């Protein structure tokens, strides 16, 4: 169970990172290799609690408590502490198809629910997971596993994001022939184009895709199901079709001046930036020598801030509608909920290093864009969020902000409009695919849905969990 009293005697240390000023000069990964001895010391802080909330994986009031993948965290922590790295990898791989992704981009709700949070700081679970999978690849423990026998059943998985890849992996290992359809020119979904290179270098995604191909999965790119291929045609060709198309319909700001040039959705900006980087060209949407305003206080907004810095913006500001978080938990945010407290994301550290101040503005709402053909200014008002979730403007808080590039990062509203237009799959009022959690079945026979497409915008670990669960259900159907 780790070292007795380790969580009291050993200070928490996260994965080392390159300096905030240095790293914004390139697109390479933020983190540095961890010392093996340091990671073993961090694993020693885990006490194998009687009730390990870190691995319970439940949704509670829109928050995630513990790991939705049910990772066996205390077990592989103990194995790392004792130097049994290969066994630690085998325990990790039992529940997690792609630890190299989750250990880089998951916000680690497991750490927020760690029991060590109460007397001190949580175990550095994410850093330990990253060290395990990195060592597994270095030592050659991640091997190609081709099924010994094929069932003769064929499955189409639509979308190659975390849900689609996890689903395809499990169904392939069950012996079914799996074809993954992806509308983009590269597989990986948001892993490829939605997450900037400095958080997840694209060779990491490509390495896993090549591994899955060697195991027998087929990928068909530049193919939008419903538009390029009718869903009915896939139903005729495959024994099951699983929709893992994500929830990429952007939420918009319907305010005066929205049609001015220079206003873009955050995901369009991030996708174009990554495509340009991979293709070695200048991006079509760029922050270079521009005053940038990011509307939206979440992770996507922070990624836009970091990307704008690397494109040499003149300035960058990030707007959020909520008030500045407290330094310690409030009474209505008890453990084991993830702590809703003030913290500096990697992008904010970089902005402070560049400009000397935090780029975030809290409790602010944009009410108008101004300009002639292109945006040149925003008008905002201060707001507060009431207990019922409604927004209330604060009198005499109007401000004007100069801007050449505005990025809208206020979330998503379900599956993309094209998908809804080209298929008769029933959607919920929120724009997600109607499919019960117990069956993942849609209104069409042998057509299923999982991940963000079904549950709405969420974490990578929820997407992978749903991909694994729908694979189990489809596998049982096909076997019978």
What is the pLDDT at residue 169? Answer: 98
Helix residue spans in 247-322 (DSSP H)? 266-279, 299-310
Token output for 22: 């240095």
What is the pLDDT at residue 461? Answer: 97
Token output for 6: 């380790």
Place of tokens 């992806």: 182
Instruction: Tell me the mean pLDDT in the region 120-130.
Output: 94
Burial 333-364 (b: 16+ CB within 10 A, else e): bebbbbbeeeeebbbbbbbeebeeebbbbbbb
Helix (H) or strand (E) holding 393: strand 391-393
Q: Does domain 263-408 sit in CATH 3.30.43.10?
A: no
Query: Model confidence at 1, in pLDDT bands (50, 70, 90)?
Result: low
Per residue in 424-444, pLDDT (tens digit) is 899 999 999 999 999 999 999
336 and 51 Cβ atoms separated by less than 8 Å: no
What is the pLDDT at residue 389? Answer: 77
- pLDDT value at 117 more than 90: no
What is the pLDDT at residue 2? Answer: 65
What is the pLDDT at residue 184? Answer: 96
Query: 47-56, 69-78, 311-320: lowest mean pLDDT where?
Result: 47-56
What is the pLDDT at residue 47? Answer: 87
- pLDDT value at 5 more than 80: no
- pLDDT value at 119 more than 80: yes
Query: Model confidence at 48, in pLDDT bands (50, 70, 90)?
Result: confident
- pLDDT value at 336 more than 80: yes
Query: Model confidence at 87, in pLDDT bands (50, 70, 90)?
Result: very high
Instruction: Tell me the mean pLDDT in the region 127-144.
Output: 97
Instruction: Tell me the mean pLDDT in the region 244-254.
Output: 94
Q: Are strands 364-371 and 360-361 parallel, antiparallel or unpaired?
A: unpaired
Q: What is the CATH number of domain 6-139?
A: 1.10.1060.10
Enumerate the CATH 3.50.50.60 domain ranges in the chain, comma separated: 154-248+413-479, 263-408
3-state secondary structure of 353: helix
CA nearest neighbour of 265 among 328, 194, 186: 194
Instruction: Tell me the mean pLDDT in the region 385-392.
Output: 83
Helix residue spans in 13-98 (DSSP H)? 20-23, 36-43, 73-81, 85-95
- The mean of the pLDDT values for the chain is 95
- Angle between helix 162-173 and helix 202-214 axes, rounded to 10 deg: 20
- pLDDT value at 202 more than 80: yes
Give the chain's length.
Answer: 480
- pLDDT value at 348 more than 80: yes
Per residue in 355-383, pLDDT (tens digit) is 999 999 999 999 999 999 999 999 999 99
Q: Does domain 154-248+413-479 sit in CATH 3.40.50.2020?
A: no
Instruction: Tell me the mean pLDDT in the region 252-271.
Output: 97
> Of all residues in the chain, what percent are helix, strand and coil, respectively (each to 5)?
35, 15, 50
Per residue in 281-316, pLDDT (tens digit) is 999 999 999 999 999 999 999 999 999 999 999 999
């Amino acid at each position: 169970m780790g070292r007795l009293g380790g969580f009291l005697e050993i200070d928490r240390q996260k994965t080392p990172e390159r300096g905030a000023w240095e790293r914004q000069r390139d697109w390479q990964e933020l983190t540095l290799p961890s010392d093996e001895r340091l990671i073993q010391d961090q694993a020693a802080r885990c006490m194998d609690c009687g009730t390990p909330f870190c691995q319970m994986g439940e949704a509670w009031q829109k928050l995630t408590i513990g790991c939705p993948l049910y990772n066996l965290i205390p077990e592989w922590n103990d194995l790392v502490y004792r130097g049994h790295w290969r066994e630690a990898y085998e325990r990790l791989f039992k529940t997690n198809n792609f630890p190299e992704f989750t250990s880089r981009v998951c916000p680690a709700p497991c750490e927020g629910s760690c029991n060590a949070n109460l007397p001190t700081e949580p175990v550095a679970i994410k850093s330990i997971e990253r060290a395990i999978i990195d060592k597994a690849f270095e030592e050659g423990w991640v091997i190609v596993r081709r099924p010994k026998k094929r069932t003769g059943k064929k499955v189409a998985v639509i979308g190659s994001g975390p849900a689609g890849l996890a689903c395809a992996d499990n169904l392939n290992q069950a012996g079914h022939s799996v074809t993954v359809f992806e509308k983009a020119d590269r597989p990986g979904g948001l892993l490829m184009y939605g997450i900037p290179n400095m958080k997840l270098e694209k060779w990491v995604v490509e390495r896993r895709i090549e591994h899955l191909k060697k195991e027998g999965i087929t990928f068909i790119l530049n193919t939008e199901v419903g538009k390029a291929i009718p869903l009915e045609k896939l139903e005729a060709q495959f024994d099951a079709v699983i929709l893992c198309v994500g929830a990429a319909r952007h939420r918009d700001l319907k305010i005066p001046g929205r049609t001015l040039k220079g206003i873009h959705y955050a995901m369009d900006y991030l996708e174009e930036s990554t495509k340009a980087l991979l293709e070695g060209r200048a991006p079509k949407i760029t922050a270079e020598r521009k005053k940038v305003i990011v509307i939206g206080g979440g992770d996507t907004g922070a990624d836009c801030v970091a990307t704008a810095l690397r494109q040499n913006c003149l300035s960058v500001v990030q707007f959020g509608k909520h008030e500045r978080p407290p330094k310690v938990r409030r009474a209505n945010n008890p453990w084991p909920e993830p702590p809703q407290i003030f913290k500096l994301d990697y992008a904010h550290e970089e902005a402070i290093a560049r400009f000397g101040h935090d780029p975030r503005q809290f409790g602010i709402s944009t009410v108008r864009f101004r300009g002639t053909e292109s945006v040149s200014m925003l008008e905002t008002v201060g707001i507060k969020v009431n207990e019922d979730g409604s927004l209330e403007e604060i009198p005499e808080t109007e401000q004007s902000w100069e801007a050449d590039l505005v990025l809208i990062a206020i979330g998503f509203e379900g599956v993309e409009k094209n998908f809804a237009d080209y298929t008769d799959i029933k959607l919920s009022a929120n724009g997600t695919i109607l499919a019960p959690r117990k069956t993942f079945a849609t209104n069409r026979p042998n057509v299923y849905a999982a991940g963000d497409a079904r549950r709405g915008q969420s974490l990578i670990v929820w997407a992978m969990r749903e991909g694994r669960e729908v694979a189990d259900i489809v596998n049982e159907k096909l076997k019978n």
